[in-house]
Homo-oligomer: A and B are copies of this chain.
Amino acid sequence: MPTDPANTDVRMRGFARRTTVEDALAWVDNQTRCLPSEFVSLWQAAGRVLAAEVVSATNVPGFDRSMMDGYALHAADTQGATAYQRMELKIVGQSLPGQPFAGSVAPGQAVRIMTGAPLPAGADAVLPAERTEAIEETLFALDEVSPGKNIGRAGEDIACGASVLPTGRVLRPQDVGVLSSLGLAKVQVVRRPRVRIVVTGNELQSAGTPAEGCRIADSNGPMLAALVERDGGVAILGGVDNRQQGDYLVPDNPAAILAAMHDPADIVLVSGGSSVGQEDHAPLLVARHGELAIHGIAMRPSSPTGMGRIGAALVFLLPGNPVSCLCAYDFFAGRAIRRLAGRPPAWPYRPIRLPLARKLVSQVGRVDYARVRIARGHVEPVAISGASILSSTTVADGFVVVSADCEGFPAGAEVEVWRYDD
C-alpha cells in the first residue's frame, strides 16, 4: 500500500471519471442470475421464492364431499316435496368429516351428512338440514333438491395435473395453505444469497457501544443487516452466519480487509474506505485480487461507490457515510441481492406521485437521491441533506430520484416519491 505522502496526495485528488448510474445498473444486471434451489419445510416457506412450477400430483379434494350440513340422498326421492307435501325417507346412518358412511344409500334412504364429509355411495345430492325435519330415524324432506346439488366434486379445488403456482412466485400465506393441501412437506425455493457485511473504519466502535472520545458507534452494520434480510438475503457479520452483537468490525488494514472479503459468500458488502483517499484500501484490493469493474459513479450521494468481483463473490464497495451507504445499497447492492434471490429486482418501496411544495435543485450530470417529506399532500425536500446525516433518512418519508439530465424541478411540479414505509 502506498505510504509515500506525495503518492497519497495524487490519490486524494478524486476519480478520473465516473460511471453513469445506468451503466452501473447494467453491470449489476449482467452479473446476477437467480441462485440454485433448495428445499425448505412448508412452515418456513412463506415469503420465499418458488424455484419451480408446482403441478398437482393429486386431486384436491380427493373425493366427492358435502358442501352443507344436511342429508345425502337420491335427488329423485325429493321430487315434489314441499312443507305441505313432505316426503318420508329412512335415515340409515351418518357421514362425518374423516368418518364416512360405510355402506351405500338406496332409494328411499338418507344419510345424515356434515359439511366436508364424503358423499356416500349411491347418493347424488345433499338436502340442507334446514329444509328437513327429522324424528328419530325418519326424515321428512320439505323441499326438492336437484341431482348434484350441494356436492363438491373431487378435484374441484385443484385437479390432478393442474399448474398450481408459477416459478418465481413470492409465496403468500394462502399459497402455503394450497401447497399444504397438496400434501407437500417441503417446498423447492430459491436459495437465499449469503451476504457478508464487512464494516471497516478505525473511528468506529461496534454497534451497541456508546460513543467514546473521537470514536463513534457504527450504524452501517445493523442497517445493512436489516436491508439484506428485507431483500431476501442472509446477513453474515464478523465471520458468524448470523446477525450478532459483539465485535464484528474489521480493522482498517489491507490484510484484514482482504481476508474478510475472501470469506465464503455470494455477495460481499464493504462499508467504508471505498473512495480514493489514503485509508481507502478496498478498491485497490479488489483491483489487485479480483476485478474492480466500476469505481466512482455520477450520483449524489454515493459517488465513491465501487463494484466488482473477488473470488466467486460479487463485491460492492459502499461509502462509510451512512446516507451514501444506504443510497449505494438501494441503487446497486440491494438490486443484486434481490436478483440472486429470484425476487422482483425493482425497489421494495411504494411510489406515489405528488406535487413539490418547494423547488428541488439538482446538478446536471449526476443522479440525485433527494430525501423528502410528505406533508399536506405535498413533497418537501429535507433541508439537512449531508451524506453523513443518517437522521435525514429517518426524518424523510422517502426519496425522489432526479435523473442526470435534469437540473431539478420547480415548486408545484409533480414528482415520484419512493416511500420508505412500503
Contact = CB atoms under 8 A, between A and B. Distances in A.
A6 B156 contact: no
Contacts of A275: 69, 115
Given A114-B277, A172-B421, A217-B182, A9 B129 contact: yes
A157 B203 contact: no
B9 A219 contact: no
Interface stretch (A82-90, A262-270, A305-313, A385-393): A385-393
A177 B214 CA distance: 19
Interface in A158-188: 158, 164-165, 170, 172-186
A134 interface: yes
Interface residues of A, number: 110
Contacts of A408: none
A225 interface: yes
A115 to B, nearest CB: 7
A420 interface: yes
Which of the listed residues A46, A204, A223, A393 has the most CB atoms from chain B within 10 Å of its own CB? A223
Interface in A34-89: 41-47, 58, 60-63, 67, 69-70
B421 A219 contact: no
21 contacts: A9-B129, A41-B208, A43-B243, A58-B210, A61-B216, A67-B386, A67-B388, A96-B202, A96-B203, A97-B279, A98-B202, A100-B214, A174-B326, A180-B207, A180-B218, A180-B221, A182-B217, A185-B209, A185-B245, A186-B208, A350-B350
